[in-house]
A and B are shown apart, each in its own frame.
Chain A
Amino acid sequence: MLIRKSERQARRGTLAGALPMQGDGGLDRRAFLRRSGLAAGTLASLGPLSLGSVRKAKAGLPPPAGAQVTIRKSICTHCAVGCTVTAEVANGVWIGQEPSWDSPINRGSHCAKGASVRELVSGERRLKYPMKMANGQWTRISWDQAVNEIGDKMMAIRQQSGPDSVYLLGSAKMTNEGSYLFRKFGAFWGTNNTDHQARICHSTTVTGVANTWSYGAMTNSFNDIRNSKTIIIMGGNPAEAHPVSLQHVLEGQELNRANLIVIDPRLTRTAAHATEYVRLRPGTDIPVLYGMMWHIIQNGWEDKEFIQQRVYGYDDLRKEVEKWTPDEVERVSGVPGEQLKRVAQMFATQKPATLVWCMGQTQHTVGTANVRASCIALLLTGNVGAPGTGANIFRGHDNVQGATDVGLDIVTLPFYYGLTEAAWKHWSRVWEVDYSYLQSRFDSKQIMETAGIPLTRWFDAVLLPKDQVAQKDNLRAMFIQGHASNSITRIPESLKALAKLDLLVIADPHPTTWASLSVEAGRKDGTYLLPVCTQFESSGSRVASNRSMQWGEQIVKPIFESKDDYQVLYLMAKKLGFADLLFKNIKVEGDRPVPEDILREMNRGSWSTGYCGQSPERIKAHMANQKDFDLVTMRATTGPLKGDYYGLPWPCWGSPDVKHPGTPLLYNTNLAVMDGGGCFRARFGVERNGVNLLAEGSYPKDSEIKDGYPEFTYGVLKKLGWDADLTPDELAVIQKIGGDKPETVSWSIDLSGGIQRVALKHGCVPYGNAKARMNAFGLPDPIPVHREPIYSPRIELIAKYPTLPDAKQFRLPNVGFSVQKAAVEKGIAKSFPLIFSSGRLVEYEGGGEETRSNKWLAELQQDMFVEINPADASERGIRDGAWVWVTGAENGSKAKVKALVTERVGKGVVWMPFHFGGWFAGKDLRPNYPAGTDPVVLGESANTITTYGYDPATGMQEPKVTLCQVQAA
Chain B
Amino acid sequence: MAALGIRIRLAVCATLLFVSVATLPPASAQQPSSVNPTADAVKEQQLLQQLNRIQGLGSIPDVKSYVIEQPQGREWRQFHEVWLHWIGAVAVLGMLAVLLIFYLTRGMLRIESGRSGINIVRFNAFERFVHWMTATCFIILALSGLNITFGKEILLPLIGPSAFSSWSLAAKYAHNFVSFPFTLGVILIFVMWIAGNIPNKVDVEWLKQGGGIVGNKHPAAYRFNAGQKMIYWIVVIGGAAVAITGYLLMFPFYGTTIAGMQLAQVVHGVVAVLFVAAMLAHIYIGTIGMEGAFEAMGAGTVDLNWAKEHHRLWLEEQNLGTGPSELQRRPSATPAE
Interface residues of A (CB under 8 A from B): 1-2, 260, 267, 271-279, 334-336, 338-339, 342, 843, 859-862, 869, 871, 906-908
CB-based closest 6 A-B pairs: A907-B27, A336-B33, A277-B35, A338-B33, A339-B33, A871-B27
Task: Give chain A residues whose Cβ lies under 8 Å from the Cβ of B162.
Answer: 1-2
| Contact status A336-B31, CB under 8 Å | yes
Which residue of A has the minimal Cβ distance to B21? A870
| Contact status A869-B27, CB under 8 Å | yes
Task: Give chain B residues whose Cβ lies under 8 Å from the Cβ of A907.
Answer: 26-28
Q: Within the complex, which residue of B28, B35, B60, B61 is in contact with A276, where a contact is CB–CB below 8 Å? A: B35
Q: In angstroms, how far is the closest chain A Cβ from the Cβ of B151?
A: 16
Q: In angstroms, how far is the closest chain B Cβ from the Cβ of A797?
A: 17
| Contact status B37-A871, CB under 8 Å | no
CA distance in complex: A862, B31 (Å): 34
Q: Within the complex, which residue of B31, B34, B37 is in contact with A334, where a contact is CB–CB below 8 Å? A: B31
Q: Within the complex, which residue of A273, A861, A906 is in contact with B37, where a contact is CB–CB below 8 Å? A: A273
| Contact status A861-B59, CB under 8 Å | yes
Assess whether B30 is interfacial by the CB under 8 Å rule: yes
Task: Give chain A residues whose Cβ lies under 8 Å from the Cβ of B37.
Answer: 267, 271-275, 277
Q: In angstroms, how far is the closest chain B Cβ from the Cβ of A116?
A: 15
Which residue of B has the minimal Cβ distance to A277? B35
Assess whether B161 is interfacial by the CB under 8 Å rule: yes
CA distance in complex: A407, B131 (Å): 86
| Contact status B36-A1, CB under 8 Å | no
Task: Give chain A residues whose Cβ lies under 8 Å from the Cβ of B161.
Answer: 1-2
22 sample A-B contacts, Cβ–Cβ < 8 Å, listed by A number: A2-B162, A271-B37, A273-B37, A273-B38, A275-B36, A275-B38, A275-B39, A276-B34, A276-B35, A276-B36, A278-B35, A279-B31, A279-B35, A335-B31, A336-B31, A336-B32, A336-B33, A338-B33, A342-B34, A859-B60, A861-B59, A906-B27
Assess whether B255 is interfacial by the CB under 8 Å rule: no
Which B residues from 34 to 79 make CB contacts under 8 A with A? 34-39, 59-61
CA distance in complex: A2, B35 (Å): 56
Assess whether B160 is interfacial by the CB under 8 Å rule: yes
Residue total for B at the interface (Cβ-Cβ under 8 A): 19
- The proximity string for B residues 261-275 relative to A, scoring 1 for CB distances below 8 Å and 0 otherwise, is 000000000000000
Which residue of B has the minimal Cβ distance to A342? B34
| Contact status B34-A339, CB under 8 Å | yes
Which residue of A has the minimal Cβ distance to B34? A339
A274 in contact with B38 given A860-B60, A862-B60, A871-B26 (CB within 8 Å): yes
CA distance in complex: A339, B36 (Å): 11
Task: Give chain A residues whose Cβ lies under 8 Å from the Cβ of B59.
Answer: 843, 860-861
Central interface residue in A1, A271, A277, A908, by most chain B CB within 10 Å: A277
CA distance in complex: A260, B37 (Å): 10
Task: Give chain A residues whose Cβ lies under 8 Å from the Cβ of B38.
Answer: 260, 273-275
Task: Give chain A residues whose Cβ lies under 8 Å from the Cβ of B61.
Answer: 862
Interface residues of B (CB under 8 A from A): 26-28, 30-39, 59-61, 160-162
Which residue of A has the minimal Cβ distance to B160? A1
CA distance in complex: A274, B38 (Å): 6
Task: Give chain B residues whose Cβ lies under 8 Å from the Cβ of A336.
Answer: 30-33
Task: Give chain B residues whose Cβ lies under 8 Å from the Cβ of A906.
Answer: 27
Which residue of B has the minimal Cβ distance to A270? B37
Which residue of B has the minimal Cβ distance to A843? B59
CA distance in complex: A271, B33 (Å): 16
Which residue of B has the minimal Cβ distance to A271? B37
Central interface residue in B28, B36, B38, by most chain A CB within 10 Å: B38
Task: Give chain A residues whose Cβ lies under 8 Å from the Cβ of B30.
Answer: 336
Task: Give chain A residues whose Cβ lies under 8 Å from the Cβ of B31.
Answer: 279, 334-336, 339
Q: In angstroms, how far is the closest chain B Cβ from the Cβ of A583?
A: 47
CA distance in complex: A862, B61 (Å): 8
Task: Give chain B residues whose Cβ lies under 8 Å from the Cβ of A871.
Answer: 26-27
Known: A279-B31, A908-B28. 5 other contacts (CB 8 A): A260-B38, A336-B33, A339-B31, A339-B33, A339-B35
Central interface residue in B37, B38, B160, B162, by most chain A CB within 10 Å: B37
CA distance in complex: A703, B70 (Å): 66
Task: Give chain A residues whose Cβ lies under 8 Å from the Cβ of B160.
Answer: 1
CA distance in complex: A908, B61 (Å): 27
Which residue of A has the minimal Cβ distance to B39? A275
Which residue of B has the minimal Cβ distance to A900? B57
Task: Give chain A residues whose Cβ lies under 8 Å from the Cβ of B35.
Answer: 276-279, 339
Task: Give chain A residues whose Cβ lies under 8 Å from the Cβ of B32.
Answer: 336, 339
Task: Give chain B residues whose Cβ lies under 8 Å from the Cβ of A2.
Answer: 161-162
Q: In angstroms, how far is the closest chain B Cβ from the Cβ of A243?
A: 15
CA distance in complex: A388, B327 (Å): 106
Task: Give chain B residues whose Cβ lies under 8 Å from the Cβ of A342.
Answer: 34
Task: Give chain A residues whose Cβ lies under 8 Å from the Cβ of B26.
Answer: 871, 907
Q: In angstroms, how far is the closest chain B Cβ from the Cβ of A843?
A: 8
CA distance in complex: A862, B59 (Å): 8
CA distance in complex: A842, B60 (Å): 14
Task: Give chain B residues whose Cβ lies under 8 Å from the Cβ of A275.
Answer: 36-39
Q: In angstroms, how far is the closest chain B Cβ from the Cβ of A219?
A: 27
CA distance in complex: A334, B35 (Å): 14
CA distance in complex: A338, B30 (Å): 12
Q: In angstroms, how far is the closest chain A Cβ from the Cβ of B58?
A: 9
Which residue of A has the minimal Cβ distance to B58? A860
Q: In angstroms, how far is the closest chain A Cβ from the Cβ of B286?
A: 42
Which residue of B has the minimal Cβ distance to A862? B61
CA distance in complex: A64, B38 (Å): 49
CA distance in complex: A224, B229 (Å): 83
CA distance in complex: A698, B162 (Å): 81
CA distance in complex: A1, B35 (Å): 59
Which residue of B has the minimal Cβ distance to A2? B161
Central interface residue in B32, B36, B39, B59, by most chain A CB within 10 Å: B59
| Contact status A277-B36, CB under 8 Å | yes
CA distance in complex: A860, B60 (Å): 5
Q: In angstroms, how far is the closest chain A Cβ from the Cβ of B95?
A: 35
Q: In angstroms, how far is the closest chain A Cβ from the Cβ of B60?
A: 6
CA distance in complex: A787, B145 (Å): 73
CA distance in complex: A843, B59 (Å): 10
CA distance in complex: A384, B150 (Å): 73
Q: In angstroms, how far is the closest chain B Cβ from the Cβ of A4?
A: 10
Q: In angstroms, how far is the closest chain A Cβ from the Cβ of B159?
A: 11
Task: Give chain B residues whose Cβ lies under 8 Å from the Cβ of A908.
Answer: 28
Which residue of A has the minimal Cβ distance to B57? A902
Which residue of A has the minimal Cβ distance to B163? A1
CA distance in complex: A260, B30 (Å): 23
Q: In angstroms, how far is the closest chain B Cβ from the Cβ of A852?
A: 14
Central interface residue in B26, B30, B32, B33, by most chain A CB within 10 Å: B33
Task: Give chain B residues whose Cβ lies under 8 Å from the Cβ of A274.
Answer: 36-38
Q: In angstroms, how far is the closest chain A Cβ from the Cβ of B153?
A: 17
Which residue of B has the minimal Cβ distance to A902? B57
CA distance in complex: A859, B27 (Å): 34
Q: In angstroms, how far is the closest chain A Cβ from the Cβ of B41?
A: 8
Q: In angstroms, how far is the closest chain A Cβ from the Cβ of B168?
A: 14
Task: Give chain A residues whose Cβ lies under 8 Å from the Cβ of B60.
Answer: 859-860, 862
Q: In angstroms, how far is the closest chain A Cβ from the Cβ of B8?
A: 25
CA distance in complex: A865, B39 (Å): 30
CA distance in complex: A275, B36 (Å): 5
Task: Give chain B residues whose Cβ lies under 8 Å from the Cβ of A260.
Answer: 38
CA distance in complex: A277, B36 (Å): 6
Q: In angstroms, how far is the closest chain B Cβ from the Cβ of A848?
A: 15
Task: Give chain B residues whose Cβ lies under 8 Å from the Cβ of A267.
Answer: 37
Q: In angstroms, how far is the closest chain A Cβ from the Cβ of B55?
A: 14
CA distance in complex: A342, B32 (Å): 13
Which residue of B has the minimal Cβ distance to A860? B59
Q: In angstroms, how far is the closest chain B Cβ from the Cβ of A346?
A: 12
Task: Give chain A residues whose Cβ lies under 8 Å from the Cβ of B27.
Answer: 869, 871, 906-907
Which residue of B has the minimal Cβ distance to A341? B33
Task: Give chain B residues whose Cβ lies under 8 Å from the Cβ of A334.
Answer: 31
Task: Give chain B residues whose Cβ lies under 8 Å from the Cβ of A1.
Answer: 160-162
CA distance in complex: A298, B155 (Å): 84
Q: In angstroms, how far is the closest chain B Cβ from the Cβ of A460?
A: 36
Q: In angstroms, how far is the closest chain B Cβ from the Cβ of A259?
A: 10
CA distance in complex: A267, B32 (Å): 14
